[in-house]
Amino acid sequence: MHALPIANTLERRKAFQSFLGVSPALIAISLFLIVPIVIVIGYSLMEANPYGGVNKVFSTEAYTSLLFERQLDDSLAFADSYLLIALRSIGIAGLTTLITLLIGFPVAVWLAMQPAHRRGLLIFLITVPFWANLLIRTYAWILLLRNTGVINNSLMGLGVIDQPLQLLYTDGAVLLGLVYTYAPFVVLPIYATLEKMDIRLLEAAQDLYAGRLRTLRKVVLPIAKPGIMAGAILTFVPCLGAMIAPELLGGGTRMMLGNLIFRQFSDARNWPFGAALSLVLMAAVMLVLTVYALRAERQRVAKGGA
């Protein structure tokens, strides 16, 4: 692919100006994100100092640790420990994405169908919790879920149960917290695509005797698809590295990748391993995003873009 040379000086100057405009952002990000990532790659190939930090000695121990475990007697055995945590994280992230999509879709559809004057307020109401601190909101779930929390107290008070249900420190609690965190990220993109939908399409479907379910499947869903994809990505990617919900609601026994990585830089004092894990996580994220970008590009070209 070979573009025509920019013959026009004016155009060249404008292109240069654009570049100038973008440069502070690029400099900031290269310096404080891209260079650091290179440093992280470096760290992952160094030896861990048992008291924290790194020894500047080349070592691939960090990467071996991902799949193999040094047994207490120094032999290497295939270790599924971290693979398990990684798979669990992917599983939970996937499940969270699925649940948020299932919950978010009907809400987005309903929102889009509201009369215009109500919509602004309803959207505002959805975003308000988002602006409150995530730690606080997740902590509030502890208040609801613990053995002497609101839910258990109410159920016991109503006589439905006589022993408190174990709600907190379970996988379910973590899932609940994660879905809670990412729900707005799903509702809003789907809503954004549906907002522009022409109502007449629905009317046409009705005229052709399509039932509600059929209309939903054949008319609404295809239009919402880009929003669904965006929402899925916006949930799945951050959820892989989620830390707060698993930490507060999981009780220290349900580690996900985010907690595992964080630990390496605090108690576990194994920076190279933390670095290696971060890179693996980053690679996974890049993979997902590239797949998404390629699909989006293919769809755009298919629609007749250029």
125 vs 160, which CB is nearer to other proteins? Answer: 125
| Minimum distance of other proteins from residue 173's CB (angstroms) | 12
From candidates 94, 139, 226, 229, binder to other proteins by CB under 8 A: 139
84 is a site residue for other proteins (CB under 8 A): yes
Binding mask 262-301 for other proteins (x = CB under 8 A): x--xxxxxx---xx--x--xx--x---x------------
- Which residues on adjacent β-strands are paired with residue 78? 68
Tell me which residues in 188-217 interact with other proteins (CB under 8 A): 199, 202-203, 206, 212, 216
62 is a site residue for other proteins (CB under 8 A): no
Buried b or exposed e, range 120-133, using 16+ CB within 10 angstroms: eeebeebeeeeeee
87 vs 225, which CB is nearer to other proteins? Answer: 87
94 is a site residue for other proteins (CB under 8 A): no
235 is a site residue for other proteins (CB under 8 A): no
- Which residues on adjacent β-strands are paired with residue 55? 47
From candidates 9, 209, 222, 253, binder to other proteins by CB under 8 A: 253
12 vs 225, which CB is nearer to other proteins? Answer: 12
Tell me which residues in 97-136 interact with other proteins (CB under 8 A): 103, 106-107, 109-111, 113, 118, 120-122, 124-129, 131-136
75 vs 159, which CB is nearer to other proteins? Answer: 75
Select from 223-231, 249-257, 298-306 the region that touches other proteins (CB under 8 A): 249-257
92 vs 281, which CB is nearer to other proteins? Answer: 281
Select from 11-19, 223-231, 298-306 the region that touches other proteins (CB under 8 A): 11-19
From candidates 82, 182, 185, 191, binder to other proteins by CB under 8 A: 82
Tell me which residues in 155-174 interact with other proteins (CB under 8 A): 164, 166, 168-169
36 is a site residue for other proteins (CB under 8 A): yes
175 is a site residue for other proteins (CB under 8 A): no
Residue 4 burial (CB count, 10 A):
5
Q: Which residue has the tokens 């052709």?
A: 208
